[in-house]
Amino acid sequence: MRFSRLAGIAGIGFVAILVAANLLLTAAGFPTPSERASVEEIAAVYATGAGSLRLASALLPAAWLLATVFAVGVCARLGRSERGGVDPWSLVGLAGVLMQSVVFTSVEATRLALMSAAEDGSGDVAGLWGLHTALFGFNQVFLATALVGFSMAGVRNGVITRWHAVIGFLAAVLLFVTATTSPYGVGDTNPLALLGLVGWLLWLVWIVAYSVTLIRHAPEPSASTTGADTASAGT
């Protein structure tokens, strides 16, 4: 299987895991960033929903692995474009994907710490919730970075269509605005949190569209590579 196709499958798998993990948390009653909840309500949810949180968290290492394969596959695909070489914008996109994985690891670790604090009845819930909210909000800037980098490189090199790039740029703007205003959501509710949710949903659509492009338009091996493989087989 061509790595480009494998990367496309990885991108779709990444989205599927994210959707499944979020459905688990939503069904268990975990508050979203746009919901106003008291410290007591947050502690109660994290204490009673530990099983759902553990299961959702256990899915995420696979998601981060798949996200990395997807991002490297996009970079490799762009490196085979007509312009030749690697477009610097694709490296911006790769950096965004890697950074969002790193930061969201911290988000998930904070959620697990919240669960532990809530189960033990300690007074750390309020501080950990504030840390979670801040990390979650700031993480959106790295999603925006990935969207801008890969959208710009993709449309410049003719790998993706203009409508696909427009979705990416629109999602990036929404996510960047929400990340910028995220400090106002610590200890309160960010008034623009719903924009971030829309941006996140567009980000998922954008990934699936990019993944389909990688699967359907995987480059064929070059004539020189094929000839070299044939010669090696004959030898």
For residue 194, what pLDDT band results from cuts at 50, 70 and 90? confident
- Measured in whole angstroms, the distance separating CA 182 from the mean position of its chain's CA atoms is 18
Of residues 220 and 116, the one with the higher pLDDT is 116
pLDDT of res. 226: 41
Share of the chain above pLDDT 70, in %: 88
For residue 82, what pLDDT band results from cuts at 50, 70 and 90? low
The answer, yes or no, to whether residue 25 has pLDDT greater than 90, is yes
Q: Could you give the CA distance from residue 118 to residue 39 in angstroms, rounded to a whole number? A: 10
pLDDT of res. 218: 62
pLDDT of res. 83: 56
CB neighbours of 38 closer than 8 A, spacing ≥ 6?
A: none
Share of the chain above pLDDT 90, in %: 58
**C-alpha closest to that of 108 among 26, 21, 203:** 21
pLDDT of res. 192: 83
pLDDT of res. 231: 39
**C-alpha closest to that of 185 among 171, 196, 199, 201:** 196
Q: Could you give the CA distance from residue 9 to residue 195 in angstroms, rounded to a whole number? A: 28
Q: What is the mean pLDDT of residues 111-124?
A: 85
pLDDT of res. 225: 42
**C-alpha closest to that of 24 among 45, 2, 1:** 45
Q: What is the mean pLDDT of residues 172-180?
A: 95
**C-alpha closest to that of 136 among 168, 181, 98, 167:** 181
What is the pTM for the complete model shown? 0.86
Highest mean pLDDT among 33-42, 123-132, 216-225: 123-132
pLDDT of res. 84: 60
3-state helix, strand, coil in the chain (%, to 5): 80, 0, 20
In this structure, are residues 20 and 60 in contact, taking their beta carbons and an 8 Å threshold? no
- Measured in whole angstroms, the distance separating CA 51 from the mean position of its chain's CA atoms is 23
Average pLDDT over the chain, rounded to whole?
86
Q: What is the mean pLDDT of residues 21-29?
A: 92
The answer, yes or no, to whether residue 132 has pLDDT greater than 50, is yes
The answer, yes or no, to whether residue 233 has pLDDT greater than 60, is no
The answer, yes or no, to whether residue 72 has pLDDT greater than 80, is yes
Q: What is the mean pLDDT of residues 167-172?
A: 97
